[in-house]
């Protein structure tokens, strides 16, 4: 028996697509992995129709970072979601290329997270050590 689409559902259709549906307070988020083609396009479209009945004022976010391929039907589904107001996001080079091929727009580079922990501190120590060595070399001449 096939399960219906539901919150935080992990589905693996035969074509090699995995999708996760995360139902949050401010957004409904699909995370897609693998190949969006053939029967998986139809199944994902049906899942969207089921989930969209609960969308209300929330945003639909579709993360395509881990899609490796799509056929024309898969591209058409993503484009129709975008045309309906969905935000397509990608934070991998491959995902951004796919996003650009769908939208025709240059995809922005992913945001860089600030370094945390001890690494920024160690980098600053190395810089200070370098400056001291240069200063000593200049002073010695």
- The reply to whether 118 falls in a domain is no
What is the number of domains present in the chain?
1
Residue 3 lies inside a defined structural domain of this protein? no
Asked whether residue 74 is assigned to any structural domain, the reply reads yes
> Residue 92: how many CB atoms within 10 A of its CB?
15
Hey, what's the torsion of the CAs at 73, 75, 80, 81, to 10 degrees?
120
Q: For position 29, which CATH number holds? A: 3.30.750.24
pLDDT at 30: 87
The answer to whether position 29 is within a domain reads: yes
> CB-side exposure of 42: number of CA atoms within 13 Å?
4
Q: 21-68 pLDDT, tens per residue?
A: 888 888 888 899 999 999 999 998 888 888 777 777 888 889 999 998
Per-residue pLDDT at 19: 87
Residue 17 reports pLDDT greater than 50: yes
What per-residue confidence (pLDDT) applies to 113?
A: 57
Whether residue 64 is contained in a domain is answered as yes
Query: What pLDDT shows up at residue 10?
Result: 44
Domain of 85, in residue numbers: 10-112
Angle between helices 93-103 and 72-83 (to 10 degrees): 70
Q: Measuring CA to CA, which residue among 42, 43, 38, 36 is closest to residue 9?
A: 43
Residue 45 lies in a domain: yes
- Residue 104 · residue 77 · CB < 8 Å: no
| 98 domain residue, yes or no | yes
pLDDT tens by residue, 67-125? 988 999 999 999 999 998 889 999 888 888 888 888 887 655 555 556 666 766 666 66
**pLDDT for the residue 122:** 64
> Would you say residue 122 lies in a domain?
no
């Amino acid at each position: 028996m096939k399960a219906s689409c539901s919150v935080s559902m992990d589905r693996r259709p035969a074509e090699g697509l995995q999708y996760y549906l995360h139902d949050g307070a401010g957004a409904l988020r699909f995370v897609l992995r693998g190949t969006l083609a053939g029967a998986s396009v139809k199944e994902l479209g049906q899942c969207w129709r089921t989930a969209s009945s609960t969308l209300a004022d929330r945003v639909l976010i579709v993360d395509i970072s881990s899609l490796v391929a799509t056929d024309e039907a898969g591209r058409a589904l993503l484009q129709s979601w975008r045309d309906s107001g969905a935000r397509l996001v990608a934070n991998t080079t491959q995902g951004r290329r796919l996003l650009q091929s769908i939208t025709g727009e240059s995809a922005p580079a992913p945001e860089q997270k600030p370094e945390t922990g001890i690494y920024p501190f160690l980098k600053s120590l190395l810089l200070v050590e370098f400056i001291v060595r240069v200063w000593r070399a200049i002073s010695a001449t």
